Chains A and B, each alone.
Chain A
Amino acid sequence: MSVAVGSGRHSGAVGGTATVRRTPRRSGDWQRRAPLLPALIFTIILTQLPFVATLAISFMDWNAYYPDERSFAGFANFRRVFTDVNIRHSVWVTIELTVVVVLVSLVLGMLIALLLDRKFAGRGAVRTMMIAPFLVVPVAASLVWKHAILNPVYGLINGIITAIWHLFGSSNPPQPDWISSFPLQSVELVLIWQWTPFMMLILLAGLQSRPLDVVEAARIDGAGAWQIFRYMTFPHLRQYLELAALLGSIYIVQTFDPVFVITSGGLGTANLPYTIYETFYQAHDYGLASAAGVVVVIGTIIIATFALRTVSTLFREEAR
C-alpha cells in the first residue's frame, strides 16, 4: 500500500515539471479519477447542495403557514437563533447528552472489554449477550424502555421494587415516575445501554491485538496488574479509545430516536436535531430552522476540525 502511495505522489510531482509529458499524464489522471467520480458527484449533490440551500433559506423570512409573505430577512433568523431560549437550551442538552453518553459508555465499555479479554467459562456467550443491545432497532429500544421498563405503573423496574417490598411484607413500595423525574437521564440511560457494546467491541479488538510477549516479560519482571494496565495496556488502547470516542460522538450528536420516542422533546430533553426537526416540521418556520441548521453546521465544523486531526493521526499511522 505505502508503495503505491509513494509512487503516485512521486510521479505527480515529476509531472508538474516535465511539460512535454503533460498530455498523456493528464489523460492518465482522468483515467484514475473516473471510478471515483460517480461516488464523489453523488455525495456532493446529496450532501453539499442541501446545505447550500439551507444557507440560502436561513436568510429568508419563510413560514409555510404564510406562503405569500416570503421575503429576504437578512440576519433576523440568526438573531432569533441566538436569543431563542429553546434553541440555546437545546445546545446545552446536545452537549450534555453527547459528553455523558460517550464518556460513560466508553468507561463501561473499557471495563467490560477488560473482563472479556480474560478467559472464563462461557466467554463467547457473554460477548454475544453484550452485543444484543446494539442490535435492537433504536426506535424499538426506546419504546420498550419507555413503556415496558421505566413506566411507573407497569414497568419492570417498579415491578421489581414492588416484588422486593412484598417479599419483606411491605404493601407500600415506592413507585417513582422515572421518566418525569429524570427525563434527560432516561434518554441517556437508553443511549448508554445501546452504545456501551459498540465501545466494548472496538476496545476488545484493541486489547486482543496487544503484543502478549511484552506483557509476559513485564509480568516475569515483577510488574503488577495495575502497572501493566497503566504503562502497557492503556497506552496501547489509547488510539482505540480515541477512535471509539470519535465515531461514537459522530453518531450520538445526531441522536433523534430516543428523544422523539421517550419524551417527544418535552421536559427539557430537546436536543438540537429534535429542536430543528420541530421548528421545521411542526412550526413550519423554515427560515429559523435553516438558520439553526447553519449555526449547528458551523459549530460542528469547529469541533470536527479537532476530531479530524485525531483521525488523520490514526490514518497516517495506517498508511505508513
Chain B
Amino acid sequence: MSSSITDVGPIPATRTPGGAARPDRKARGTLLVGIIAWLVGLLFIVPVAWMLLTSLHSEADAATNPPSVFAPLTLQGYQEYFGSNPWPSLLNSLTASLLSTVLVLLLAIPAAYALSIRPVRKWTDVMFFFLSTKMLPVVAGLLPLYLFAQWSHLLDNIWYLLILYTAMNLPIAVWMMRSFLAEVPVEMLEAASVDGAGLIRTLREIVAPVVAPGIAATSLICFIFSWNELLFARVLTATRAQTAPVFLTGFVTSQGLFLAKVCAASIVVSLPVLIAGFAAQDKLVQGLSLGAVK
C-alpha cells in the first residue's frame, strides 16, 4: 500500500465509488449522505451568510429580536464604512501583504533550491531549523522588536511590518517551495549545466516553469497570513501605518448601533482572502499542509 503522503493528486472533483451491488439501498444511502452533508455545509456557512445579510440591512433592521430576515436591503453599512476613510488601512494591508509575499519568494526560492536540487550538507537540519522558528511563540519576541522600532523610529512604519511579515512567512515558504522543487527532474538540470547555463538561468528557465503551481500556492498562503495578521500590526502601528484588521477593531468602540457597519466592514476586509481562497481551492490545501499534500 503506497502510503507516502506526497503521492496525492490534486483533489478530484468527483470520484466514483465502485461496486453497484444493491442499487436500491445504495441510492437511498447516497441521498442520506447528500442531505446530511448539505445540512452540515449550511450550518458552517450560516455565520458568513448572516454577516452578508446583516451588512445589507439598515442599522435599525440589523438590531431587531427576532431577526428581520426579509427587511429591505440597503448599502448604508458599506457607505458608512467607506465614509470613515478606510482606504489608508486597506492600502497599508495590501502593501504589506503583496510586497512581503514577493520578498518571501525572492528569499525562499533560492533557499529551497539549496535544500532540494543541489542540497547543502545536513539540509534536513536546516529544514527543521526553519520549522522550529515557526513553533516559537511570536509574543516572546515582540517586545525587543517593539523596543528596536522605538529606538530606530520605525514605529508606525508599514515597511517595518512588511519585513516582519516576511520573516513570519519565510519558514512556511521554504518548506513549501522545497517540496515543490523536489519534483524538478534532475536530468533536466544536468542537461542545462552541460549547456553551460548559470544558476540564475537554470532557476529561471528550467526550475520556475515546473514549480509555478507551487509558487502560486506559496503566494496564496503568505498573502492570507499577512493580510490576517493582527498582533504585530496592533502593537507596532498607530494611525499612519495601521492595517485593515487594526482599523476594523477600532470600529466597535463607538456607542449605538453599529452592527450593519461592522458586518459590511468585515465583508470588505475578508473579500480579498475569500476571492483568492475560492479561486485556488486546491492550492489552499497544498499551502496549508506546507506542501506535504499535493
Interface residues of A (CB under 8 A from B): 1, 3-5, 8-9, 12, 29, 32-36, 38-40, 42-43, 46-51, 53-54, 57, 112, 115-141, 143-145, 147-149, 153-154, 156, 158-160, 162-163, 166, 175, 193, 196-198, 201-202, 204-206, 208-209, 211-212, 214, 216, 219-220, 236, 239-240, 243-244, 247, 250, 253-254, 256-257, 260-261, 272-273, 276-277, 280-281, 286, 289-290, 293-294, 296-297, 300-301, 304, 307-308, 311-312, 314-315, 317-320
Contacts and interface: CB of A to CB of B under 8 A. Distances in A.
The 3 closest A-B pairs by CB, nearest first: A120-B34, A293-B140, A50-B141
Contact of A148 (B44, B124, B263): B263
Contacts of A50: 140-145
15 contacts: A36-B115, A51-B141, A117-B15, A130-B45, A143-B266, A148-B259, A149-B50, A156-B46, A193-B47, A204-B11, A205-B289, A260-B234, A293-B140, A296-B137, A307-B135
Interface in B1-57: 1-9, 11-19, 30-31, 33-34, 36-38, 40-42, 44-48, 50-51, 54
A193 B44 contact: yes
Interface of B is mostly: helix
Contacts of A318: 4-6, 179, 292
Interface string B201-212: 000000000000
A32 B119 CA distance: 7
Interface in B249-280: 249, 251-252, 258-259, 262-263, 265-267, 269-270, 273-274, 277-278
Contacts of A148: 50-51, 54, 62, 259, 262-263
B114 A160 contact: no
Contact of A154 (B2, B62, B114): B62
A135 B18 contact: no
A280 B50 contact: no
A258 B7 CA distance: 36
B235 A147 contact: no
B45 A129 contact: yes
Given A42-B167, A133-B44, A304 B121 contact: no
Residue of B67, B124, B130 with most chain A CB atoms under a 10 A cut-off: B67
Contact of B274 (A130, A135, A156): A135
Given A32-B120, A33-B120, A121 B34 contact: yes
Nearest to B34: A120
B84 interface: no
B132 interface: yes
Interface string B177-190: 00100110010000
Given A123-B13, A126-B37, A166-B66, 15 more contacts: A33-B120, A35-B111, A140-B265, A154-B63, A154-B259, A193-B44, A198-B288, A205-B289, A206-B8, A216-B19, A273-B231, A293-B140, A311-B128, A312-B124, A312-B128
Given A4-B116, A131-B281, A315 B124 contact: yes
Contacts of A208: 8-9, 11-12, 15
Given A38-B110, A158-B65, A318-B292, A137 B266 contact: yes
A290 B143 contact: yes
A177 to B, nearest CB: 13
B137 A273 contact: yes
A128 B281 contact: yes
Contact of A132 (B15, B64, B248, B274): B274
B15 A119 contact: yes
Given A135-B277, A138-B230, A211-B2, A163 B66 contact: yes
Contacts of A134: 277
Contacts of B288: 198, 201-202, 247
A294 B140 CA distance: 7
Contact of B40 (A115, A198, A202, A277): A115
A300 B66 contact: no
A115 B33 contact: yes
Nearest to A159: B67
A120 B67 CA distance: 33
Contacts of B15: 117, 119, 208, 212
Contact of A162 (B11, B12, B33, B65): B65
Contact of B114 (A36, A120, A311): A36
A48 B289 CA distance: 24
Given A39-B174, A47-B141, A137-B270, A256 B38 contact: no
Contacts of B248: 137, 139-140, 143
Given A46-B163, A51-B140, A132-B274, A277 B235 contact: yes
Residue of B11, B19, B139, B262 with most chain A CB atoms under a 10 A cut-off: B139
